[in-house]
Amino acid sequence: MGNLASIYSDLGQYHKAEQLQVQVLNTFKQLLGEDHTQTLASMGNLALTYSDLGRYNEAEQLQVAELSARKQVQGEEHPHTLSSVSNLALTYSDLGRHNEAEHLQVQILNACKRLLGEEHPSTLKSRHNLALTYSHLGQYNEAEKLQVQVLNARKRLFGEEHPDTLKSMGNLALTYSNQSRWEEAGELYLKVRQGI
């Protein structure tokens, strides 16, 4: 049932995915207990579906419960715990609670750098997410610093035309626009357009 729910989610059929995920979560709670890792994974999947449906408050409730249990069961720096923190931070952003998102994203970025290294894809994604939050907060200089780091690393690792590199260019171009640096923004937008 969980696999079918994932397929529905991938197809954008979130209401069907939700129905199955609720069943799976309830079954795992009954059979395995509230704090079993499969139960927690099911909780996280349902929370992501709630986010996809725009039901961010429900997503937040599940994510807070999942994160609390993961910290107890798996520890603060387990990859699944860090993923849960990241998902909660994104939900906070969706709710417009950017200061709370920033707080969590700084924690995630520091943990990823320490555990995985500066240029690991998860570290780059964490840095990218924090930069977006800084943009939402109007902290464009902070956003720019992180975006330049991510862009340079992605160019080195993936090349100029990789979708992640192009996404980084587009985000940096937007930051330049927000800083009224029109010429630099235009150059990057042109590169993104040519790369697509």
Do domains 1-95 and 120-196 share one topology? The answer is yes
User: pLDDT digits over 53-62, tens only?
Assistant: 999 999 999 9
Share of the chain above pLDDT 70, in %: 98
> What residues contact residue 121 under an 8 Å CB cut-off, 6+ apart?
none
CA separation for the pair 62, 100 (Å, rounded) = 17
- The answer to whether the beta carbons of residues 129 and 86 sit under 8 Å apart is yes
Longest dimension (CA), the chain: 60
Q: Per-residue pLDDT tens for 91-101?
A: 999 999 999 99
Alpha-helix residue ranges (DSSP H) falling in the chain? 2-10, 14-32, 37-52, 56-74, 79-94, 98-116, 121-136, 140-158, 163-178, 182-195
Which CATH superfamily does the domain covering 120-196 fall into?
A: Tetratricopeptide repeat domain (1.25.40.10)
Q: What is the DSSP letter of 137?
A: T
- Measure the CA–CA gap between 121 and 132, rounded to whole angstroms: 16
- For residue 194, pLDDT over 90 is answered with no
Q: What is the pTM of this model?
A: 0.89
Q: Cα separations (Å) of 92 from 59, 124, 185?
A: 10, 20, 28
Q: Right CATH number for 1-95 from 3.40.50.300, 3.40.50.10310, 1.25.40.10, 3.40.50.720?
A: 1.25.40.10
185: tokens are 């923004």
Q: Where are the domains of the chain?
A: 1-95, 120-196
Q: Which residues of 53-74 are buried (b: 16+ CB within 10 A; e: fewer)?
A: eeebebbbebbeebbebbeeeb
Q: How many residues does the chain have?
A: 196
DSSP letter at 95?
Answer: T
Q: What is the pLDDT of residues 95-153, one digit of tens each?
A: 999 999 999 999 999 999 999 999 999 999 999 999 999 999 999 999 999 999 999 99
